[in-house]
Structure 1
Amino acid sequence: MEPPAEQTPTYRNPVLAADWPDPDAIRVGEDYYLVTSSFNRSPGLPVLHSRDLVKWDLLTHALPRVGPGFGLPRHGGGVWAPAIRHHAGTFHVVFPDPDRGLFVVSATDPAGPWSEPRELLAGLGLIDPCPFWDDDGSTWLVHGWARSRSGTKNRLSLVPVDAALTRPLGPGRTLIDGDEVPGCTTLEGPKLHRRGDDYLVFAPAGGVATGWQSVFRASSLTGPWEHRVVLHQGDGPVNGPHQGAWVDTPSGTDWFLHFQDTGAVGRVVHLQPLRWGTDGFPVIGRAAEGETRGVPVLTHPSPHGTEQGSRLPGGSDDFRTGIGPQWRWQADVPADQARSDDGELVLRGTACDTGNLRTLPQVLGQPVPLLACRFTTSVSLAGPAGARAGVAVLGLAYSWAGLRRTAHGDDEVVSARRAPDDQDERVEVHGRVPAGTRLHVELAVGADATTTTTLSWPGREPFAVLEGEPVSVGHWIGAETALFAAAPLGAEPGTARFGAFDRHLAPEDS
């Protein structure tokens, strides 16, 4: 009897099972680097690293602060879809702030340090930029348009720029007008490439949750452009498969990274095989012989023959060597807003609380995973009457559980909910404890995008206070698991101390 043939390890999609929106990626040597949108969250522009396209680690953030006007949360603003490229020994990330223009940060090492952002092109509604260095020495920038700011959409523009990406060298022009393409709506997210004698523009269309991936091909940047839809939902469960990056491996195989909008959990990242047809167009995902529109695969042999491992970078944090890079604030905050202290996170409870967590910059979060899991931590509170601290699940609607200081100097154990249209939080008090009591919190996230929060403290058995809470999508982002501390307007600041933050996953997703 012959031994069984050795099987190539397979991966499961999504390869990043949490909110990593609008991914773009490149390969440099044997390393892959991926960047995503970060919107209002600070620090911005996460940079992830992989050696095999299926296991990703969060390397750094290229943007330590979002920038002017982001001292308070501006949900839906900030850093939209970026592009990462490597040219002449330098990494560049070009990103849009749709309310200001297009900006660039650069580094010789993707782990940083990255340069201060520099303005490349000013203007309202300029989005989704991607630079391109042509073989003839010219450099170009392709970008899309946001109708909410500019009144224009479904159009891709091309601008000549200098090779160092510091300034435009002439006026822009329309590269592709989606209105002239039958059935094309919301054409955006362009990535410009050259393959042999062909110019290729990979560009999604049709909208975030319902769209598809298109590719345009021409022998000249002046066109004419042939068009094809190369990836769509088809008969599969992955809705809106589009916006991402074509990458190759050192061995010459081709792949496509894209997102799927899951609603409350945000935009997760899938990896698809890519092959080239004899007509010069790619076929992405699963496609029968003769079919040109692929459908996303759910599992596939790994590009480098490696095991997949965890699909969730970050997560747990013991706060012993600082605060992990997986955490992001809701806006730019002072450097002293948080510190680690002997295995605890100490948050400064800034006196800016008007009763709505969505207005607070000092809410420290990370994405709610698509996978079922549990988070555990503990919290204690110090501060004036009305100071509060706890663990939240933050979206357009939110819930939280934790402690609130009373006028008598002790603490109330509370939970609260707030819907988008609520005037005030709906608060429930579950008990009173002496000031300084450490409250233990467990947040369970179900595969059905609901959460249950369980509390306990010395002398009190664990009990659920928020059961089956639906996770709520944010503004262009997924929901976040968050820690916060705050004090009322005009009061003295408070302080909260959080114990180690542990994430518990099923063994197959650990």
Structure 2
Amino acid sequence: MLPGDFPDPSVTKVGNTYWASATSSNWGPAFPLLKSDNLTSWQLVGHVFPDKLPAWADYYFWAPEITQEGNKTYVFYTAHKKGGNLAVGVASADRPEGPYRDHGPLVSQAAGSIDGFPMRDEKGQLCLIWKEDGNSVNQPTPIWAQPLNETRTSLTGEKKELFRNTKAWEGNLVEGVSMVRYGDYFYAFYAANGCCGPACTYGTGVARAKRLLGPWEKSPRNPILTATEAWRCPGHGTVTQGFDGRWFLLHHAYAAGSFENVGRQGVLTEFAWTAEGWPSFVAQPSAPAPNPAATQPVADEFTGAKLGLDWQWPIEDKPQYALRGGRLRLTAHPHKGGAALGRHTLTGNYTASTTLLMPAALPTSATAGIAAHGDPKNMLALTAGGGKLQLWERRDGQQKVLAETALPATAAKAVQMRMQVSGGNSYRFAYSTDGTTWTNPLANDGAISGQFLPPWDRGVRVGVLAQGPTSVTASFERFALSSQL
């Protein structure tokens, strides 16, 4: 699996290696690039857009579909068009690890266009499959197909509807189509109903047709993948075949124990083909086995020349930072909750910690420390500044101090800060001047609910922040994250 917030995962084979990407939404860098030789252990090796975003787009970087044909790698993706609506764009590279060249948007309808997927028809004509985002304006959600030129830079001909949400279980949408040709049929695996958040109702269906443009028939057994006690709201993935010939869908789902706080994680579920020519999942997703990638403690000593690939930031507000002498120097920001850097959480139970250097030197106008980031409007944090330690929440853009104490004299040069999380959304913060004795600013070692933190479409990040004028720089030493199942 892909532990952490990796919605809408996509996978393709290049030689003896699997390459995957996933939605990054409003966290930068845009679109992670991961590789694996077995579909279960993944390594983050880069991003499609590591530094500079496409000039035409500003946020909501969704649903990258990574594909390989010949010696070219293509990523079809969704993003919000500046001054417009959601659009499907495409980027290409000579190697799956990049660098990628963006070719701009291919289609942007009035209601929005999302979830692009390339597919050749029975005559070899390349087509783009996508969803019209009608549910955003209380309309149906047609799945369209239209010819695409061989350079993948422009649609040609006319679009044709393949199918739309017509069944009761599909609710107000169908989306996230992944196609594969098997035997006499094209098969479209698709997601339907509510994708995200605590009230999600997502499930997976399949439809088939002998010609790409139809007519399409939906499986009488839909939905073919539904919630279990371990995983909720499974959907939006890509079909792939293992090197041993077995068939899988790499899709996302919420782990029941952490749910939306960790986000939609990548889950690999096997299926087989029935005598009637329909895919049937061998088993519904079960409780995850202990995953070394999820439980291995990680620590960043900030000794490299660059920040590690696991670090992220709000997509529209990349902070200014530098690494020097084993320290992360983060320039403060006066707006939108401050300058933020965060990492994926991997389970619902974890401990994060860092050391803030020279907190006594921070002026009254600035504060810095450890934080749980939902988005720039929603945070929980323990910070120091102006001779004080403050525990605070930022909810819907309004900041409120929950507890305050004087910065101990022994913490003038450094203060260690810790965040302990259980059940996904129960937060306990503490500080220490010696690494042994920890003090919770709240009375009775109280916990804070972080249920308000995660946005509807992404999980919480944990990391550091610095609020205040840009003339202020906060210095951090070591950031560690230890997760438990």
Q: 2:322 aligns with which of 323, 328, 339?
A: 339
1:78 aligns with 2:60: yes
Equivalent-residue separation in structure 2 for 1:451 and 1:273 (angstroms) = 36
Taking structure 1 as reference, are residues 315 and 235 closer, same or farther at Cα in structure 2, changes over 3 Å only?
closer
Tell me the amino acid that sits aligned with residue 71 of structure 2: G
Taking structure 1 as reference, are residues 149 and 375 closer, same or farther at Cα in structure 2, changes over 3 Å only?
same
Structure with the larger strand share: 2
Equivalent-residue separation in structure 2 for 1:454 and 1:244 (angstroms) = 40
How far 1:35 moved relative to its partner? Answer: 0.9
Equivalent-residue separation in structure 1 for 2:352 and 2:69 (angstroms) = 41
How far 1:458 moved relative to its partner? Answer: 5.4
Judge conservation of contact 2:9–2:238 (CA < 8 Å) in 1: yes
Tell me the amino acid that sits aligned with residue 356 of structure 2: V
Taking structure 1 as reference, are residues 85 and 378 closer, same or farther at Cα in structure 2, changes over 3 Å only?
same
Partner of 1:178: 165
Superposed CA offset, 1:160-213 (max 9, x none): 11122100112322111223x454321011112212321111101122121211
Judge conservation of contact 1:23–1:37 (CA < 8 Å) in 2: yes
Which runs of structure 2 are paired with 1:55-74 in the superposition (5 Å)? 55-64=41-50, 65-67=52-54
Judge conservation of contact 1:346–1:495 (CA < 8 Å) in 2: yes
Partner of 2:119: 132
1:503 aligns with 2:473: no
Pairs aligned (count): 457
Which has the bigger relative contact order, CA under 8 A and spacing at least 6? 1
1:238 aligns with 2:231: yes
Judge conservation of contact 1:390–1:484 (CA < 8 Å) in 2: yes
Which runs of structure 2 are paired with 1:2-401 in the superposition (5 Å)? 15-64=1-50, 65-67=52-54, 77-98=59-80, 99-124=85-110, 125-134=112-121, 136-147=123-134, 152-179=139-166, 181=167, 183-185=169-171, 186-208=173-195, 209-228=200-219, 229=222, 231-233=224-226, 236-261=229-254, 262-286=259-283, 295-298=284-287, 309-311=292-294, 315-321=298-304, 322-333=306-317, 337-350=320-333, 352-353=334-335, 357=337, 360=338, 362-380=339-357, 381=359, 382=361, 384-395=363-374, 397-401=378-382
Equivalent-residue separation in structure 1 for 2:317 and 2:22 (angstroms) = 21
Which runs of structure 2 are paired with 1:454-465 in the superposition (5 Å)? 454-457=430-433, 461-465=437-441
Taking structure 1 as reference, are residues 284 and 343 closer, same or farther at Cα in structure 2, changes over 3 Å only?
same
TM-score scaled by length of structure 1: 0.82
Taking structure 1 as reference, are residues 447 and 183 closer, same or farther at Cα in structure 2, changes over 3 Å only?
closer
TM-score scaled by length of structure 2: 0.86
Taking structure 1 as reference, are residues 154 and 265 closer, same or farther at Cα in structure 2, changes over 3 Å only?
same
Taking structure 1 as reference, are residues 236 and 383 closer, same or farther at Cα in structure 2, changes over 3 Å only?
closer
Q: Secondary structure at the match of 1:311?
A: helix
Superposed CA offset, 1:377-410 (max 9, x none): 1113455431111111122642100212x3xxxx
Judge conservation of contact 1:144–1:188 (CA < 8 Å) in 2: yes
Taking structure 1 as reference, are residues 117 and 341 closer, same or farther at Cα in structure 2, changes over 3 Å only?
farther
How far 1:28 moved relative to its partner? Answer: 2.1
Structure 1: runs of 5+ lacking an equivalent: 1-14, 72-76, 287-294, 301-306
Equivalent-residue separation in structure 1 for 2:123 and 2:168 (angstroms) = 33
Superposed CA offset, 1:203-250 (max 9, x none): 011221212111111101232212122533366442212111211112
Equivalent-residue separation in structure 2 for 1:137 and 1:494 (angstroms) = 59
How far 1:423 moved relative to its partner? Answer: 3.7
Judge conservation of contact 2:189–2:207 (CA < 8 Å) in 1: yes
Taking structure 1 as reference, are residues 146 and 222 closer, same or farther at Cα in structure 2, changes over 3 Å only?
closer
Identity %: 23
Structure 2: runs of 5+ lacking an equivalent: none
Equivalent-residue separation in structure 1 for 2:483 and 2:295 (angstroms) = 10
Equivalent-residue separation in structure 1 for 2:46 and 2:7 (angstroms) = 16
Taking structure 1 as reference, are residues 28 and 82 closer, same or farther at Cα in structure 2, changes over 3 Å only?
same
After superposition, the CA RMSD in angstroms is: 2.7
Equivalent-residue separation in structure 1 for 2:423 and 2:282 (angstroms) = 25
Q: Runs of 4 or more off by more than 6 Å in structure 1?
A: none
1:482 aligns with 2:463: yes
Judge conservation of contact 1:160–1:168 (CA < 8 Å) in 2: yes
Equivalent-residue separation in structure 2 for 1:97 and 1:459 (angstroms) = 44
How far 1:84 moved relative to its partner? Answer: 1.0
Judge conservation of contact 1:388–1:486 (CA < 8 Å) in 2: yes
Taking structure 1 as reference, are residues 432 and 46 closer, same or farther at Cα in structure 2, changes over 3 Å only?
same
